[in-house]
Amino acid sequence: LLGLHDHHNLEMVLFVLALGIYSVNVLGNALLIGLNMLDPRLHTPMYFFLSNLALVDISGTSSFVPLMLVNFLETQSTISFPGCALQMYLTLALGSTECVLLAMMACDRYVAICQPLRYSELMSWHTSMWMVALSWGAGFANSLLHSNLTWSLPFCGHNIINHFFCEILAVLKLACGDISLNALILMVASAVLTLAPLLLIFLSYVFILTAILRVPSAAGRHKAFSTCSAHLTVVVIFYGTLSFMYFKPKAKELNLDKLIALFYGVVTPSLNPIIYSLRNAEVKAATIALLRGDLLSRKMSRFPVVL
């Protein structure tokens, strides 16, 4: 893994920054999952989706960041062949899962704003479970397809990956055979699992904004929009960074592309808990209750000790 070994001082700076951001990511997303489990007010489909998003973010960054941090301190970074295969599979699977999950969250917000009287009927726990299962299943099935196609290619000994981790495009550059089929399927899968969810999110928010504008009072409009503003912010950051990374013109300096990929993989997931904490009153209230000890005391009171 080539990384930025030509710029060792920069790697030391990146080590400190990545370690700090990764810690915020793990602690922040773990806090969201914990709040969802402890606070009965958060036992709704919206926060069930949010907990799964937090789990995806923790798992996605943990699939490559710990080894990357170790490699920042090494003079030569290596990864085993099975380790590289597993890393590529997990990063691709969890990235695809997040795309679909964000679309499912947009559907949930659409039903909450546009069909409020039927929300509990349409977004039952059974439906929510199926939507989450579809997100995880689609992401991991997509990654399994690409992994099988990639590792069935011939590799002739060139084993230097010009990246921080085993990213699929960087791995495909090592193959000796024809990768046109891989490129075609990767393009089709990207369109299905990236652009289709984005279209669904866009259509959901068109209907949501139309419904919000029909609300007569300014307070009502603000309350309606506040329920989906955090999700919309996360979508803009996620797809904005993704689009910039893959659709911008190729940089003459390859290190710039690697740094952008690092920002997408490490920084973006750490922003989600911050955004939901700042823009969501229920999460704020649950966090304050946890800090005061109210949540834990309430939870413990449900399990009385019999002497």
Alpha-carbon distance 36 to 132, whole Å? 16
Chain position carrying tokens 């704020």: 284
Q: Does residue 78 lie in a domain region?
A: yes
Does residue 279 lie within any of the structural domains? yes
Q: Name the residue with higher pLDDT: 88 or 293.
A: 88
Number of domain units in the chain: 1
DSSP 243-300: HHHHHSPPPSSHHHHHHHHHIIIIIHHHHHHHHHHHH-HHHHHHHHHHHHTHHHHHHH
Q: pLDDT band at residue 300, thresholds of 50, 70 and 90?
A: low
The candidate with the shortest Cα–Cα distance to 136, out of 188, 101, 104, 172, is 101
Average pLDDT, the chain: 82
pLDDT of residue 305 exceeding 50: no
Query: What band does 278 get if pLDDT is binned at 50, 70 and 90?
Result: low
Residue 306 counted as domain residue: no
Range of the domain at 29: 8-301
- Residues 89 and 281: their CA atoms lie apart, in Å, by 37
In this predicted structure, the answer to whether residue 160 has a pLDDT above a threshold of 70 is: yes
Note whether residue 283 is domain-resident. Answer: yes
Residue 215, classified by CB atoms within 10 Å of its CB into exposed (0-12), middle (13-18) or buried (19+), is middle
d(CA 132, CA 103): 11
Check if the beta carbon of residue 90 is closer than 8 Å to that of residue 63. Answer: yes
Model confidence at 304, pLDDT cuts 50, 70, 90, reads low
**Helix 45-62 and helix 268-279, axial crossing angle in degrees, nearest 10:** 150
In a domain, 2, yes or no: no
Write the CATH number for 49.
Answer: 1.20.1070.10
Q: Please give the residue that has the higher pLDDT: either 307 or 287.
A: 287
pTM of the model: 0.87
pLDDT digits (tens, 9 = 90+) for 35-63: 888 877 778 888 899 899 999 999 999 99
pLDDT at 219: 75
Q: Phi, psi at residue 175, to the nearest 5°? A: -70, 145
pLDDT, tens digit (0-9, with 9 covering 90-100), for 85-105: 999 999 999 989 999 999 999
Q: CA 281, CA 277: separation in Å to the nearest integer?
A: 8
> Is residue 128 predicted with pLDDT exceeding 90?
yes
Residue 142 is assigned to a structural domain of this protein: yes
Q: Report the C-alpha gap between 247 and 244 in whole angstroms.
A: 6
